[in-house]
Amino acid sequence: MVTDPTGPWPTWRDAWSTALYGPGGFFVRSRPADHFRTSVHASALFADAVHELARRADLRTVVDLGAGGGELLRHLHAADQDLHLVGVDLAPRPDDLPAAVGWRADLPEQVDGLVVANEWLDNIPCDVVEADQDGVARTVHVEPSTGAERLGELCTDPWLGRWWPLSEPGTRAEVGSARDAAWSDVVGRLGRGVAVAMDYGHTMDTRPAFGSLTSYQHGREVPPVPDASRDVTAHVAVDSLPADRVVDQRQALGALGISGERPPLDRAHDDPRGYLRALSTATEAAELTARGGLGDFVWVVSARGVPLLL
Ligand SMILES: C[S@@+](CC[C@H](N)C(=O)[O-])C[C@H]1O[C@@H](n2cnc3c(N)ncnc32)[C@H](O)[C@@H]1O
């Protein structure tokens, strides 16, 4: 890799931002479900759990931040037409969203309700840094159409030394300060309510040595290139986020009544239809709670004026 601090290539953070959210950007013109599968696509049980959390906290408004194709909102609307539902996304409102569901490009000043952000933080662009041959962290710049990289200026963000110190030449990190600021902004808007970010993440003990920057396109993981043809994502440093509680999705869904436990076999004789229904529910729940899969996702929870229910 060439070291050239004066090169014209943008930083990863700038290129990532333009590729996903600029004019013609990936998320502005395509639906997440066409490229990758999240918990909201996997099963309506995820929406059932969100509904149950709102019910237990006595919250009648649910804001889906980074609502994508609106799948979660559609499930919630079908389950409870009295909920006040709002999708927030930079993408245009999906055509097939029920008229009663609101849609906007940014969060309201204050939210009294439940804010859910499933796989939102991992798409917040951040600086990518790499330790040079002297072990000094430098900001990585990228050529947007090819993904070719070169090292630029020293990274002076104090977040890096505190949360993801680098010293071995060639090791890399995604600087989480942009995500921390984005999530602080969300939590700061809560009046009476709960905010939950669900995402794949790491902590000090589990940081990936070479970072986790990658892309998805039409269901496949592909090399990260900020050319607007694919998403750009990196796992979230969940321990630096503001939070009242952090639990994995397996525990969170279990607490909300969703488990992957199979129905007892003898039910197949007494109630074959009921058994098949229960088996299908258990199969979907198993995907949402799987080790090495969606069950390892982290729920980062903050509550204001309501008890912490997870
Ligand atoms: C990975 S998708 C997740 C979609 C959906 N939550 C799901 O689970 O399928 C991330 C979504 O967040 C949206 N997004 C990212 N940053 C945003 C921002 N600052 N404001 C509003 N939406 C944003 C993107 O447009 C995209 O639709």
Structure tokens at 205: 């003990």
Q: How far is the CA of 147 from the centre of ligand 1 (A)?
A: 22
Q: How far is the CA of 200 from the centre of ligand 1 (A)?
A: 14
The best mutation among 64, 65, 90, 196 to test binding of ligand 1, ranked by most ligand atoms within 8 Å of the C-beta, falls on 90
Contact 75, 128 (CB under 8 A): no
Helices 71-79 and 44-56 cross at an angle (nearest 10°) of 60
The finding on whether 199 has its CB within 6 A of some atom of ligand 1 is: no
Tokens of 300: 């980062």
Q: Compute the distance from residue 67 Cα to the ligand 1 centre, in Å.
A: 6
Q: The whole model's pTM is what?
A: 0.94
Regarding the beta carbon of 68 and ligand 1, being less than 6 Å apart is answered yes
CA of 130 to the centre of ligand 1 (A): 27
pLDDT tens across the length of the chain (310 residues): 444 445 589 999 999 999 999 999 999 999 999 989 999 999 999 999 999 999 999 999 999 999 999 999 999 999 999 999 999 999 999 999 999 999 999 999 999 999 999 999 999 999 999 999 999 999 999 999 999 999 999 999 999 999 999 989 999 999 999 999 999 999 999 999 999 999 999 999 999 999 999 999 999 999 999 999 999 999 999 999 999 999 999 999 999 999 888 889 999 989 999 999 989 999 999 999 999 999 999 999 999 999 988 8
123 close to ligand 1 (CB < 6 Angstrom): yes
Beta carbon of 17 within 6 Å of any ligand 1 atom: no
Q: Per-residue DSSP letters for 180-196?
A: HHHHHHHHHTEEEEEEE
119 CA from centroid of ligand 1 (Å): 7
Q: Which atom of ligand 1 is nearest to the CA of 41?
A: 9
62 lines ligand 1 (CB under 6 A): no
Nearest to 139 by CA among 168, 115, 162, 160: 160
Q: What are phi and psi of 28, to 5 degrees?
A: -75, -30
Ligand 1 midpoint to CA 97 (Å):
16
Q: Which tokens hold the place of 160? A: 């890096």
Q: Cα-Cα-Cα-Cα dihedral of 183, 122, 28, 141, to 10°?
A: 110
- Cβ(88) – ligand 1 distance below 6 Å: yes
